[in-house]
Structure 1
């Protein structure tokens, strides 16, 4: 049975990935701070090394991150602006480094959850878009001859903490209600997102990054071609 470890698998998109992995017959280990199979701080390098040494996943999914503070740039402090640099980027760095140092077995996959915000910008979420772009870059840096890496960039996803926080903020800024703003989005549900991730993990070859919306996965390069 193939093994999957989902960092940040207790809620949101990570929970959707964990459910889809179990439905597909994978042995799933959920890593989370307060609830999961392995409980701990995802930014802790020693914890990451212990989890990977214990479970030796064939597929490592890095989905953990912080909910950004939604406010205009003039109302941000450096502390609020840098929340996602200190969480999302540090978590990705920690687990990518641990996976390479372990190392994971040849043929292993690492899939990081980025954000479509890096393509469109996100003026109310401080450093979120830039942090997610860096997650994609360093995930690419971790690719080796034995380990395949890829990043998935979803849009604003209703039903998740980050998605609902963004919907509320951008609805107000655009003069619409949350329901009106939500109706204009093209995003899969967390469970549909999870199914796409699990299916991608089984593909023989993958692109460096994908955009994911309600129409499915598309290689990032195709967005700029």
Structure 2
């Protein structure tokens, strides 16, 4: 996978934040990119492969099947998800509490299921963006079911890897767990809520999480991960401002 030219990549959740940075970086690396989002997006002229935009609801199982059938990707990156309702448990409703289960987990389930059923070509890579919140001992107490939903995405990626291995499909499934990325919608909401809970200004709170993750760093990390030899790829990585770190 070192040369990405001609290897189509679908990036789900590409209109903003980490997804936008990942779509841009893959295109700059030579991959024809299909950027999937519910809202229109603009991308820079990468000087390499064009970025084709598909406006669709990635949580609809028909969308996963249709886009995989039409574009025949060898790389699928799932970044899309709901911005959690940042309130303590007693100020949540079931609808706000379960938002990330109904969006993030649903997307991972449908797309990984379709990647196995189609299946994607031998040597394909599927990267599922979970969250570093899934590693916290106390979860993410101000974001409802967010931490649990993101942990489940990691499990789903592992389940898919087991099924692919057992069937000899040659597809690599990987979970990436990003830490705070304050320039993104989800990241900014979390930073503001937890800074207020700690009685800190946002800038003071962020000093404890340096170096900060950006869409550009995420893009480079995914390109490096997709290019890496499959035999050296581990099931899950933490992603922060210093790049990827393998999880045992």
TM-score norm. by structure 2 comes to 0.87
Is 1:125 aligned with 2:121?
no
Matched pairs, number = 221
Partner secondary structure for residue 81 of structure 2: coil
Per-residue CA deviations over 1:54-110 (Å, capped at 9, x if unaligned) read: 111111001100000000111111111101000000010011111111111111010
What pairs with 1:96-175 in structure 2 (closer than 5 Å)? 96-120=112-136, 121-143=139-161, 144=164, 145=168, 146-175=170-199
Is 1:200 aligned with 2:205?
no
What pairs with 1:4-15 in structure 2 (closer than 5 Å)? 4-15=9-20
Q: In 2, Cα distance between the equivalents of 1:166 and 1:181?
A: 11
Q: CA RMSD in A?
A: 1.0
What pairs with 1:1-225 in structure 2 (closer than 5 Å)? 1-35=6-40, 37-120=53-136, 121-143=139-161, 144=164, 145=168, 146-186=170-210, 187-205=212-230, 206-221=233-248
Partner secondary structure for residue 142 of structure 1: helix
Task: Give the Å deviation of 1:163.
Answer: 0.5
The answer as to whether partners of 2:180 and 2:240 remain within 8 angstroms in 1 is no
Task: Give the Å deviation of 1:183.
Answer: 2.6
Q: In 1, Cα distance between the equivalents of 2:172 and 2:193?
A: 36
Q: Give the stretch that moved more between structures: 38-47 or 82-91.
A: 38-47
Q: In 2, Cα distance between the equivalents of 1:185 and 1:53?
A: 41
Partner secondary structure for residue 46 of structure 1: helix
The answer as to whether partners of 2:180 and 2:213 remain within 8 angstroms in 1 is no
5+ unaligned residues in a row in structure 1: which ranges? none
Partner secondary structure for residue 151 of structure 1: strand
Q: In 2, Cα distance between the equivalents of 1:48 and 1:58?
A: 14
Partner secondary structure for residue 142 of structure 2: coil
Q: In 2, Cα distance between the equivalents of 1:190 and 1:34?
A: 18
Structure 1 moving runs of 4+ over 4 Å: none
Partner secondary structure for residue 111 of structure 2: helix
5+ unaligned residues in a row in structure 2: which ranges? 1-5, 42-52
